[in-house]
Chains A and B, each alone.
Chain A
Amino acid sequence: MDLRTTFLSWPVVRQLTGDDPLGRGRAAQSAHTAALVPRTSTADRVVDSVCPYCAVGCGQKVYVKDERVIQIEGDPSSPVSRGRLCPKGSASEQLVNSPGRATRVRYRKPFATDWQDLDLETAVDMIVERIVDTRKRTWQDIDANGHKTRRTLGIASLGGATLDNEENYLIKKLFTALGAIQVENQARI
């Protein structure tokens, strides 16, 4: 580095030569500070989203850099929320990036005392087998009164209020085709 430049950028020198003799403002600003920009402005893209917490449905803007969410904040265009977010909505970035978030499939064998690893594909295959077995064992063509039921009461599901409509649609559609009727969600709770 040019020694002269280095010397001239020494804040003491800038104090003596500039408009900030007391060294409390411009003279004290570092090069790093002067170069600051909000990380939102260097995002690769901004994606329209909706807050995943309550049902007010606040608009969110999701800022992505290097395929990672770097910031989530309110969408000022939303006529619902006008860019504002509550503490939970404001914590959305931590929700998706939290180090405590579970990102690996875990499997607990019957009677086991701890989790073990399992790959996703195997897990889905095993779940398929469980469904087929349980359905076979618990299938009910008719009820005690001889009325047609064509169902299983052996498989139940709970959840959906935090899920997308499209997801719920597939859940209801698949379970209904399987004859599983105990499909429920938070709306009952």
Chain B
Amino acid sequence: MAECHPVGFQWVMEAKARGAKVIHIDPRFTRTSAVADSYVPIRAGSDIAFLGGIVKYILDNDKYFKDYVVAYTNASFLVGEGFVDSEDLGGLFSGYDEEKGSYDMSSWAYDGVDEEPAGGAGHHLGSGGPSLDPSNIKRDETLQHPRTVFQVLKRHYARYTPEMVEEICGVPPELFHEVCEAVTANSGRERTTCWVYSVGWTHHSVGVQYIRGSAIIQLLLGNMGRPGGGILALRGHASIQGSTDIPTLFNILPGYLPMPKAGDPDTFDDYLDTIRTPEQKGFWAEAESYVVSLLKAWWGDAATKGNDWCFDYLPRITGDHGTYQTAIDMNDDKVEGYFLLGQNPAVGSAHGKLQRLGMSHLKWLVVRDLNMIESATFWKDGPEIATGELKTEEIGTEVFFLPAAAHTEKSGSFTQTQRMLQWHHKAVDPPGDCTSELEFFFLLGKKLKERLADSVLERDLPLQRLTWDYSVDEKGEPSAADVLREINGRHLSGDKSGQPLSAYTEMKPDGSTAGGCWIYTGVYADDVNQAARRKPGQEQDWVATEWGWAWPANRRQLYNRASADPDGKPWSERKAYLSWDADQGKWVGPDVPDFVVDKPPSYRPPKGAAGADGLAGDDPFIMQADGKGWLYAPSGLLDGPMPVHYEPHESPVRNALHPQQASPTREVYKRQDNLSNPSGDDPGSDVFPYVFTTYRLTEHHTAGGMSRWLPYLSELQPEFFCEVSPEHARERGLEHLGWATIITARSAIEARVLVTERVVPLTMGGRTIHQVGLPYHWGVGADAVVSGDSANDLFGLTLDPNVHIQESKAASCDIQPGRRPTGPALLRLVEEYRSRAGITVETGNTLKTVKP
């Protein structure tokens, strides 16, 4: 956190000064470790074992927050009899289909919910999780029934002992014990513990389950929804949260509504049923209002009840259309045109070669950026030109480079990592040909509408009828505030016709409201740009709700109902946040309640009540279909109801827990251009004996598009380097400040060597494992102030099935002293490694490795 979010880290330092204990668990000793109370070196890719070990410690030692767990989590819910745990099937849960490489999740359901929820899982879902009718769920509040989630959990993690943690993670038992003690001692009524993660947890084939692991701990310890608690995702781009909320993502529509998928039947109602069941609790039950309002925002008067609000205008998805699948499709000549909007996949995406080769197959490419990034110049100075794999004169890709406007040259909002929208005002006009995306896409849309205005083709109707009339200034730039107003939504009829909506609860399914992103409704309440509020923090209380605007409804902390006990009283004075004020008949506190504001703790929904009315007064997890925090996910996740330790797709280590080596549901691509290293104890795995991981440095930003062109940042970290331990350096003959070549089945890259004791050889199972650390900011090109080989070139594509995010935080490699060969000799080196390891397209790609 100190490394990548130094300014956010001021609050950690502040807490530390007040006595908070800071523990840093990371394969790499970072600037965070330097000021942490404890640093725990861990093998990249082993965190679930570590987290599972903590779960076991909590359960074995009765360290969980019993009142919280019983009241606010699904610990007491009974799991159906058909469920078989991974502990009993060698690492697979019940329902695994070897053919499809996926699970039939019906056996994971709660007892009393006997069929697989209609919603499916993974990318087919919005953020609401699967829909679910909770009314018949059986429970045992003593937590003693063997099929309670609590007991299932206990059995599931029974083998995650400190010794097992050591064997898998390389963390000595006493150090592990110290973490367990610290985390549990600092949780409960009086204290809370916060977990912070970043892409070190998401870039795995089981990334979602990493987060689930910490969620289980936080729920058991009563750390969710309470001040100082929670799980904080530190996101790395100014509006990466916003770009998920208002997604430039294939599988969702604004506000985490799922994209409709092709199928039969494919009606509006079918679609709605995948989002919610009419019986479910919580605010997702109103999804129809959100969808209709979105469609009204996009197609205006053309969207009517009669035509299902133009639901048919939405294109359908048929599987994974994520960026990696798209890159593969480019290589297969399925994609003609590609827009890169402030993104540098030639450097920043996994498997850089596949990305660059993919782009060489395009008919046309539009790159919009502040700087002439490597993705715009791959055709003339990319690494494949040097190896002879590509020849400039043979690349048919037409490239448009359009310079972009900077944040000072346009108005708009960023949504930061805590879901807070903040408005930045335009300060100056963009220089030269630079334009904002807003202006560019507005213009593009206008021109496309003009171009196709006379078309009579049915496929052009959605464009022709698309609402696209934003006010423009004297220079022709569209008003960002106008767009935010549309996002916020407005009343279309009645007294308030034309006025902005003030909350998503005002949205209606009857076409009387429009709104582009329901969770953002309220950002323009009272016709005021709430995101632009800047009441100084010094003039506000510590929650500072009058600075910017956080979705939903300006709530700063989600699930904050859980900060009070079931009766609505704070768990403790020290940790008071929200409480029920019986006199006023409402929830009070420094934050906006994440709850129906006047619903008393004692409220119990009548039988059959659904939606918000279906939430009891002690159901704090209002977006969950059962109102509870999920220790066990009966559905929604494609790779299991509870996290299981699997080895990364490429690992020099055999899974110590299960015959099942890696996640049986990970997405693999068996292709000649995406070969994998042998893993575990497969033949040839010793050719790649080391673990490597990638990361950022404080001095740079991701693929370098906003840092490697700046002398002030470039001079601070001018060259690509690898970090190795002195022991590892000795083993391989690497010299400090010399060069090293790092090799995988995909490529070989060179880096300067930084020998440092910050890298720790791990002892696990009597074996020493060396890890190589690689910052990934550099790329091969001619325009940046500093350049170098790209760490992402080492990775292949293997994805988490839930979110299609690549595994790029743990893989195996070899490292050798000296510079890599250049030209075709580089390809020969990689080929030599492949043949030594006996690599074929099948290598490492067998999903099920449990032998029957």
Do A and B touch each other in the complex, judged by CB within 8 A?
yes
Query: Which A residues, 123 to 167, have Cβ-Cβ distances below 8 Å to chain B?
Result: 123-132, 134, 137-139, 141, 143, 145-167
CB-based contact B243/A64 at 8 Å: no
Residue among B366, B433, B698 with max Cβ neighbours from chain A (10 Å): B433
CB-based contact B537/A134 at 8 Å: no
Residues of A within 8 A of B784 (CB): 100
Query: Which B residues, 387 to 406, have Cβ-Cβ distances below 8 Å to chain A?
Result: 392-403, 406
Encoded as 1 (CB less than 8 Å from any B CB) or 0, chain A from 38 to 57 comes to 00000001011111111111
- Distance A119 CA – B435 CA, assembled complex (angstroms): 13
Closest A residue by C-beta to B401: A106
Q: Does B53 make an interface contact (CB < 8 A)? A: no
CB-based contact B238/A57 at 8 Å: yes
Residues of B within 8 A of A172 (CB): 246-248, 253-254
Residues of A within 8 A of B29 (CB): none
Residues of A within 8 A of B395 (CB): 110-111
- Distance A154 CA – B337 CA, assembled complex (angstroms): 6
CB-based contact A165/B242 at 8 Å: yes
Query: Which B residues, 445 to 493, have Cβ-Cβ distances below 8 Å to chain A?
Result: 445, 447-448, 451-452, 459, 462-463, 466, 480, 483-484, 486-487
Residues of B within 8 A of A110 (CB): 363, 395-398
CB-based contact A113/B428 at 8 Å: no
Q: Does B96 make an interface contact (CB < 8 A)? A: no
Closest A residue by C-beta to B372: A102
Residues of B within 8 A of A120 (CB): 402, 433, 435
Q: Does B494 make an interface contact (CB < 8 A)? A: no
Encoded as 1 (CB less than 8 Å from any A CB) or 0, chain B from 427 to 442 comes to 1110111111110111
Residues of A within 8 A of B235 (CB): 54-55
Residues of B within 8 A of A48 (CB): 423-425, 532, 534
Q: Does B852 make an interface contact (CB < 8 A)? A: no
Residues of A within 8 A of B432 (CB): 103-104
Residues of B within 8 A of A187 (CB): 240, 243-244, 247, 249
- B96 CB to nearest A CB, Å: 25
CB within 8 Å for A150 and B4 given contacts A64-B428, A103-B432, A187-B243: no
User: Count the A-B residue pairs with Cβ separation under 8 angstroms: how many?
Assistant: 494
Query: Which B residues, 542 to 574, have Cβ-Cβ distances below 8 Å to chain A?
Result: 544, 547-548
- Distance A149 CA – B709 CA, assembled complex (angstroms): 42
Q: Does B313 make an interface contact (CB < 8 A)? A: yes
Residues of A within 8 A of B253 (CB): 172, 176
Query: Which A residues, 50 to 108, have Cβ-Cβ distances below 8 Å to chain B?
Result: 50-60, 62, 64, 67-69, 72, 75-82, 84-89, 91-92, 94-96, 98, 100-108
The one of B7, B421, B699 that contacts A84, using a Cβ cutoff of 8 Å: B7
Overall SS of chain A's interface: mixed
CB within 8 Å for A128 and B335 given contacts A95-B370, A165-B414: no
- Distance A95 CA – B707 CA, assembled complex (angstroms): 8
CB-based contact B438/A167 at 8 Å: yes
CB-based contact A104/B433 at 8 Å: yes
Residues of A within 8 A of B398 (CB): 107-110, 130
Q: Does B263 make an interface contact (CB < 8 A)? A: yes
Listed stretches B108-116, B734-742, B798-806; interface member: B798-806
CB-based contact A47/B262 at 8 Å: no
CB-based contact A87/B364 at 8 Å: no
Encoded as 1 (CB less than 8 Å from any A CB) or 0, chain B from 691 to 719 comes to 00000001111100011011111001000
Residue among B239, B376, B429 with max Cβ neighbours from chain A (10 Å): B239
- Distance A161 CA – B344 CA, assembled complex (angstroms): 12
- Distance A87 CA – B2 CA, assembled complex (angstroms): 12
- Distance A15 CA – B784 CA, assembled complex (angstroms): 52
Encoded as 1 (CB less than 8 Å from any A CB) or 0, chain B from 230 to 258 comes to 00001111111111111111100110000
23 contacts between A and B (CB under 8 A): A50-B423, A51-B238, A52-B238, A53-B238, A58-B7, A69-B408, A95-B706, A96-B408, A96-B409, A100-B371, A108-B379, A111-B392, A127-B444, A154-B336, A158-B326, A158-B345, A159-B343, A161-B240, A162-B343, A171-B437, A172-B253, A172-B254, A188-B322
Which residues of A are at the interface with B, using a C-beta cutoff of 8 A?
45, 47-60, 62, 64, 67-69, 72, 75-82, 84-89, 91-92, 94-96, 98, 100-111, 113-115, 118-120, 123-132, 134, 137-139, 141, 143, 145-174, 176-189
Given contacts A127-B364, A156-B329, 13 further A-B contacts (CB under 8 A): A81-B10, A87-B6, A87-B712, A87-B716, A96-B409, A106-B400, A110-B395, A120-B435, A124-B447, A130-B336, A147-B263, A161-B237, A176-B462
Closest 6 CB pairs of A and B: A164-B412, A159-B341, A57-B416, A79-B537, A103-B432, A151-B315
